[in-house]
Amino acid sequence: MDLTGFAEEVGNHGPVVAVGGRTQWEVGGSVEAAAREVRPPAGIVSHQPEEMIVRVSAGTPVAEVDAAVGERGQAVALPDWPGATVGGVLAVGHSGLRRLGWGPVRDTLLEARYISAEGRMVKAGGPVVKNVTGFDLCRLLVGSLGTIGLIAEVVLRVRPRPLASRWLRGEDDPFALRRRLHRPSSILWNGTTTWLLLEGHPADVDAQAAVAGGAFSEVERPPPLPTAGRQSVRPSEVAGLTGEFVAEVGVGVVHRPHPVEAAAPHPSAVELNRRIKALFDPTGRLNPGRVA
Amino acid sequence: MGMGLVDELRGALTDDRVLTQPLELALYARDASVMEGAAAVVCFPTTTEEIQDCVRIAARHERAVVPRGSGTGLAGGAVPVADLEPVVVVTTKMTRILQVDEDERVAWVEPGVLNLDLSRAVAPLGLHFAPDPSSQQSCSIGGNVATNSGGPHCLLYGVTSAHVLAVEVVLPDGSLALVGGLDPEPAGYDLRGAFVGSEGTMGIAARIAVRLTPVPPAVRTLLADFTTVDAAGATVSAIIGAGIVPAALEMMDAEITRAVEAYVHAGFPTDAAAILLVEVDGLPDGVEAAAAAVTDIALAHGARSVRVAQDEAERALLWKGRKSAFGAIARIAPNYYLHDTVVPRTKLVEVLRQVYEIGARHQLVMMNVFHAGDGNLHPLIVFDRRVPGTMERVMAAGTEIIDACVAAGGVLSGEHGIGLEKRDHMDKVFSADDLDAQARLREAFDPGGRCNPQKVLPAGSRCGDLQQIPAGAWI
How many Å lie between the alpha carbon of A175 and the closest alpha carbon of chain B? 9
Which of A251, A115, A48 is CA-nearest to residue B165?
A251
Helix axes A270-280, B432-445, angle to 10 degrees: 150
d(CA B412, CA B406): 7
Alpha helices in B362-413 (DSSP H): 390-407
Looking at the predicted structure, is the pLDDT value of residue B3 above 80? no
A226 touches chain B (CB under 8 A): no
Q: Are B199 and A251 spatial neighbours (Cβ–Cβ below 8 Å)?
A: no
Q: Are B428 and A128 spatial neighbours (Cβ–Cβ below 8 Å)?
A: no
Residues of chain A with C-beta less than 8 angstroms from the C-beta of B289: 201, 203
Output the CA–CA distances (angstroms, integers) from residue B185 to A82, A93, A105, in the order listed.
Answer: 22, 8, 10
8 Å CB contact of A235 and B103: yes
pLDDT at B146: 98
pLDDT digits (tens, 9 = 90+) for A201-238: 999 999 999 999 989 999 999 999 999 999 999 999 99
What pLDDT band is residue B467 in, cutting at 50, 70 and 90?
very low
pLDDT digits (tens, 9 = 90+) for B17-56: 999 999 999 999 999 998 999 999 999 999 999 999 999 9
What pLDDT band is residue B472 in, cutting at 50, 70 and 90?
very low
Helix (H, G, I), strand (E, B) or coil at B311: coil
A12 touches chain B (CB under 8 A): no
Other C-beta atoms lying within 10 Å of the C-beta of residue B79: 31
pLDDT at B463: 67
A180 touches chain B (CB under 8 A): no
Q: Are B369 and B380 spatial neighbours (Cβ–Cβ below 8 Å)?
A: yes
Residue in B with minimal Cα distance to A136: B194
Residue B77: CA count within 13 A, CB half-sphere: 34
* CA torsion through residues B224, B227, B228, B229, sign: positive
Q: What is the DSSP string of A239-272?
A: GG--SS-EEETTT-EEEESS--PPP---GGGHHH
Looking at the predicted structure, is the pLDDT value of residue B465 above 90? no
- Specify the DSSP element, H or E, that contains B10: helix B5-12
Q: Chain A to chain B, count of Cβ pairs less than 8 Å apart?
A: 252
Q: Are B231 and B306 spatial neighbours (Cβ–Cβ below 8 Å)?
A: no
Q: Which backbone phi and psi does B208 adopt, to 5 degrees?
A: -130, 130
Output the CA–CA distances (angstroms, integers) from residue B341 to A123, A243, B71, in the order listed.
Answer: 19, 52, 20
Which of B391, B412, B418 is CA-nearest to residue B475?
B391
What is the residue type of B151?
G
pLDDT digits (tens, 9 = 90+) for B305-321: 999 999 999 999 999 99
pLDDT at B399: 96
Which residues 244-283 on chain A approach chain B with CB closer than 8 angstroms?
248, 251-253, 262-266, 268-273, 275-276, 279-280
How many Å lie between the alpha carbon of B196 and the closest alpha carbon of chain A? 8
B431 touches chain A (CB under 8 A): yes
Residues of chain B with C-beta less than 8 angstroms from the C-beta of A120: 433
Q: What is the side-by-side strand order in the sheet with A194-200? A: A216-219, A164-170, A194-200, A186-189, A246-248, A253-256, A229-232
What pLDDT band is residue B73 in, cutting at 50, 70 and 90?
very high
> Which of A51, A94, A142 is nearest residue B190 as measured by Cβ atoms?
A142
- Average confidence (pLDDT) per 10 residues, chain A, 292 residues: 93 96 91 95 96 97 98 95 96 97 97 98 96 97 98 97 97 94 97 97 96 95 95 97 97 97 94 98 96 91
Output the CA–CA distances (angstroms, integers) from residue B249 to A139, B149, B222, B314, in the order listed.
Answer: 26, 17, 10, 17
8 Å CB contact of B189 and A148: yes
Tell me the whole-structure pTM to 2 decimals: 0.96
ipTM rounded to 2 decimals:
0.97
d(CA B142, CA B69): 6
Looking at the predicted structure, is the pLDDT value of residue B458 above 90? yes
Burial of B99 (0-12, 13-18, 19+ CB in 10 A): exposed
Tell me how far the alpha carbon of residue B308 is from its chain's centroid.
29
Q: Are A232 and A99 spatial neighbours (Cβ–Cβ below 8 Å)?
A: no
pLDDT digits (tens, 9 = 90+) for B413-443: 999 999 999 999 999 999 999 999 999 999 9
Looking at the predicted structure, is the pLDDT value of residue B471 above 60? no
What is the residue type of B357?
E
Q: Are B142 and B198 spatial neighbours (Cβ–Cβ below 8 Å)?
A: no
d(CA A111, CA A127): 6
